[in-house]
Structure 1
């Protein structure tokens, strides 16, 4: 007897049961690639093995003020508690590079405003969720109705470990996922489903004795292999953290005003990094080639206009200006820089002004050398 889906289409439940699971899995992966995903694997909804290390991370305080990481630990370990009825998780990734990186770390021009490459274009969270919803719709057209829910760094999920458990790569010593043939310049997403699909097998790790990412970190945030102290991490400090950045870390931040790619740029496996296949990651508003002084000129209206649909909006205007002030403090001495820093003080809050004062002091010290 036929039943009816929410869309009004008739489906035969027997048909879903008769589909060969392996053939369906192969078909789903082909659809994922067609939608612009770089890879697709099927993971078991189980991350219990991550809990001991994660609890140690929390106990050390390495999560900084991201207190939400302490919540929903049971759901992190058991994804079926997050989405009841989940039987398989479709894990996908998207490459976001639009130009090949240097094969090894090369310092940037000191007057450039450095923004992490994933943030040059459209917010990947929106791109990922939209395409995961389309993937779910295609599967429903194929098999009939089933339960699904898309995620893109938006819920208590061990997304790296789930993807790793299904062979999408291995966790590098910098704590990011690395793929043997694609490097690490990609973002992850998940589609929780009620489908019973065969699970993929984990890949082997290939970091060996390499410590390049640990050695290159400007603030020594990778305190040991596979353990990152967010309190020192430039990505955390310039994106998540809203307070006064410790003075001892400011020089290490250099001219990085949103995120940091250094541990990825030095990684030998990124000589195999693949380019993005969709235009959403193309740079907007010159964010891949902007000077510190040019971006310092942005008022709040310009910031909001130029970061619409961008992950940079996450940091907020005042924190963004705080980050640029640090960059200007680390730049070569310039009368123009000092003048513009002084003129901007009445426009900003106390936290930003602490960093402006520091930047002016750094500039003047450099002038007297």
Structure 2
């Protein structure tokens, strides 16, 4: 789609306020289509409330990165590696900030409402972790009252499960209420039907670019060499199905029906100012997970908001996560498992120490004991028609904010 160039009397889309969270200090990547070319996917970069057709800009400016940006997805860029990621980002920054490029770039800017965002890369594998001590302790108190909240292994390794990459969907995709077996403790036998405890999990997803060879673990120090960027992630969870099925092998159908990710991938380089030290650990870890000597802080200061039907119900702080993304990557590969371009791994539910910082309805309602009061009615778990939206921002350079693309999904009824 060729967007009309703005007349001289109109403000250019490139003339953004200095505090715009999607200014040139951010530049997240996505993939979009337009109404006039619905079958043609293009790589885009968000700038303010517009999308730059990055492939067309690269071609028009004679960029050597046209091959990385001119295809239907981010896969070639993800696989290109850290040096290319830095160089492409530097070029894009110049394209949207240097006045000499305006005449070329402005006609290639498309308003966000005029595009349809697509899943931006091919999801190779999906792994989800359980890395918030506050979340794990809350879950332990809910299901093991009076017992030890954390399992004996929890502070020795990042616990995770292997999910289903084929049901990762882009923000805005409806989520069909899953059906399966469920059995309450007092029920004599399991029953089959739609989940009645459909939940959310506010998470951050990490997108792998450069693969690794099977049999070669990825050390902590190589995190930036393999991980391209981050996206918000909602790991929808059917708690009643999960509770009945998970012993002894863990999550399965209670998780695999859908995982929503943002349409935008924020490059790690945009989050340099948001790096922060993780919480102090009171249990020594084995050498492959020991990050005390790492030069770069392992945590990220990301401020997440969770809204149900437009009302904010939680504000989980990602800086409170016990296990870092680098430790999760090291754990995921320490047995020799290989990485592939497009691998996605989730942080696990982000929860903080305060009640309003809990990143799941399981915690917010204490497994249905304490209902939330919303304009659309009382909720313990999600009702059909509910829409969940997660947004986030991070501290950026010179006091600006880095916006992370939202992830949203609406619950539709189970098929009859």
Aligning the two structures, in what range does the TM-score lie when normalised by the shorter sequence? under 0.3
Q: TM-score, normalised by structure 2?
A: 0.22
Which protein has the bigger helix share?
Answer: 1
Which protein has the bigger strand share?
Answer: 2
